Structure 1
Amino acid sequence: MYAFDIETPTTIADAVAALKADEAQPLGGGQTLIPTLKARLAAPSKLISLARVADMQGVSVAGDTLRIGGATTHATVASDAAQSYPGLAALAGHIGDPAVRNRGTIGGSIANNDPAACYPAAALASGATIVTDTREIAADDFFVGMFETALAEGEIVTAVSFPIPQAANYQKFVQPASRFSLVGVFVAKYADGVRVAVTGASEGGVFRWTEAEQALSSDFSADALKDLSVSADGMISDLHGTGDYRAHLVKVMTGRAVKAAG
């Protein structure tokens, strides 16, 4: 590590103001940023911790919408969203290990947009709205590519709003060493149709499998997928699995998610 300053603002306005400093960088739970600093892949002179910003904490429900503060930990989502959105709560409860779940935050995960992170799939499949300090961004417009989002410099994720589905489930094929998703699929059924989002598989990051959405909107069963296939073009190919293998897993995990969602 190296020397840097850290600030702990307690309001969104103070956090935004602090981020205007040269080389300042926001710090959520630090599950990605701290290892990056240790490896000296980044060297900001100041970190702005969002952990004490009260307006970015907690889980609440209004009507058919679940709102989660950007600084809310995975463990809190797992416990406090269990009644309103059990599919999302179950996803949060299986991220990493207890240490990660008690430090990592939903805002940090979504803002980082790791290609194998779980929350981006949930946000995209749910048609969530990402709330920042300046605007609201539909999930379909937020995730631009691998490690890329629509966030402007200095903009922070203050909350995420999830329309609560009729049924939902997330299935991931875990890469044992990292516990990230080799392939993860989130399926969410709404009155106007089904949305399916895939993480861990594509070189372009999280994406929607539209062919599966169309089939499942007509017949919400794993049998609806039997004649579908996923192209291996653009899929990640590495020591953990080829592009063809990941393409195969997308269909398998989608079927499992549909069965589990019921």
Structure 2
Amino acid sequence: MAGAPKTNAADIIDRINAIGRDVAEKDELNIFAWNGIVRDLKKLESVPGLGETALLHQAVMWGMKLDRSKVKSLFAESAARFGKTQSWYIIRSNYATLFGDASMVVDLIDFGIGNRGASFVVKAIDVLVSSGFYMAAWGFLLDLRKLDAKSAELIDARYPFLGFASDYISRSGLSDLEVSRRVLLSAKVVVDAGFRLRKFSISAGSYGVSVELSVAADLDRLVDLNFAISDAIASSFESLISEYVTTGVVPWEAGGDYAS
């Protein structure tokens, strides 16, 4: 029985992954299953060695409901009780798109790679790409090539545009932060309108970098969202960089993972 709590934790994580796939692929949230998972995670809080896991994954669950207040409070509680750990930085940074907050990714970058292993670096690159930090992602990939060549090959195949995008942003005199703030603001506009972000399609070429957010909405709603994104960017930033980087929404069916 000594191994029961950890076994139970692994089972809960599997259930979280399953319900997360339904949300991502079908835009469906099973409230009955959601309630059961959150209830079981709360039980894990008092189990030695599992408290942080319980809190961080409760944040994941509330993220499925787009509840910024609960997500923020759970990350704060986890940091207060268990410190800002590797898991805390990675999981928290994934919610930069929910909050439209680039500082959550900057914190991850500042935390750095250190000797944290290939798995951490791969997860960090995924976050950096989805948040618009292309130069930082490219730097992490260069480090990953030295650390784990096979993992680096997988990342190269997943994000074939990354080297070009990083170089293009640099040559255009832009910073990662300038790009990210616009990408994340676009994501926040979508979330504020009540939609879950499904996938990002990213392309890069001589025309610049294009970021498309796949949303399950009808054409009229997509048009409204694109206008809202344009208005939000125009009113939030003194300098426009649409000559170099564009963001917008596309129908869910037309979206992809990370296109080259």
Q: TM-score, normalised by structure 1?
A: 0.30
Q: TM-score, normalised by structure 2?
A: 0.30
Structure with the largest fraction of helix:
2
Structure with the largest fraction of strand:
1
